[in-house]
């Protein structure tokens, strides 16, 4: 991820593709987690590699979002059972979809002033 994110509030995702994301005219390489407290690199390139450790940034902000969207890459794929069980043990019940749909849904929820967080796997 190039540089430290510099934006006020929680920005929408302006673009995705080419292995990264753009938020407020800033490019971030690789997968990301976006929360009300900021953007974090997410070292997951395939949804089957998601686990409790990789999703830990979400625990620090549990009380600050009501919805979690997980973008699984080019298409919708299931979240690994262990990751899902861990999230549910934290009272987090994610919506799972392909990254393109997840970006659109995240932006829509932000535009409606809903409390949302997202974990997005980068796509080409």
CATH number of the structural domain spanning residue 107? 3.40.1230.10
d(CA 35, CA 62): 10
Q: What local confidence, expressed as pLDDT, does residue 2 receive?
A: 45
d(CA 84, CA 39): 21
Q: What local confidence, expressed as pLDDT, does residue 113 receive?
A: 95
Q: Tens digit of pLDDT for each residue in 38-75?
A: 899 999 999 999 999 999 999 889 999 999 999 999 99
- The domain of 78 spans 15-120
Q: Tens digit of pLDDT for each residue in 1-42?
A: 445 566 677 999 999 999 999 999 999 999 999 999 889 999
Q: How many domains is the chain partitioned into structurally?
A: 1
Residue 8, in any domain of the structure: no
**What's the N-to-C CA distance of the chain in angstroms?**
16
Helix or strand holding residue 94 (H, E)? none
Give the residues across from 34 on adjacent strands.
39, 118
Residue 5, in any domain of the structure: no
- Kindly tell me if the per-residue pLDDT of 83 is higher than 60: yes
Residue 31, in any domain of the structure: yes
Single pTM value for the model: 0.93
Residue 2, in any domain of the structure: no
Residue 4, in any domain of the structure: no
């Amino acid at each position: 991820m190039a540089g430290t994110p510099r934006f006020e509030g929680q920005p929408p995702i302006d673009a995705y593709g080419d292995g990264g994301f753009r938020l407020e005219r800033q490019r971030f390489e690789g997968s990301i987690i976006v929360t009300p407290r900021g953007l974090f690199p997410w070292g997951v390139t395939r949804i089957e590699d998601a686990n409790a450790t990789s999703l830990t940034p979400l625990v620090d902000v549990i009380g600050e979002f009501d919805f979690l969207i997980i973008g699984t890459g080019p298409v919708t794929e299931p979240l690994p059972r262990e990751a899902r069980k861990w999230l549910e043990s934290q009272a987090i019940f994610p919506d799972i979809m392909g990254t393109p749909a997840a970006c659109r849904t995240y932006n829509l929820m932000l535009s409606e002033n809903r409390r949302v967080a997202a974990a997005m796997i980068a796509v080409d």
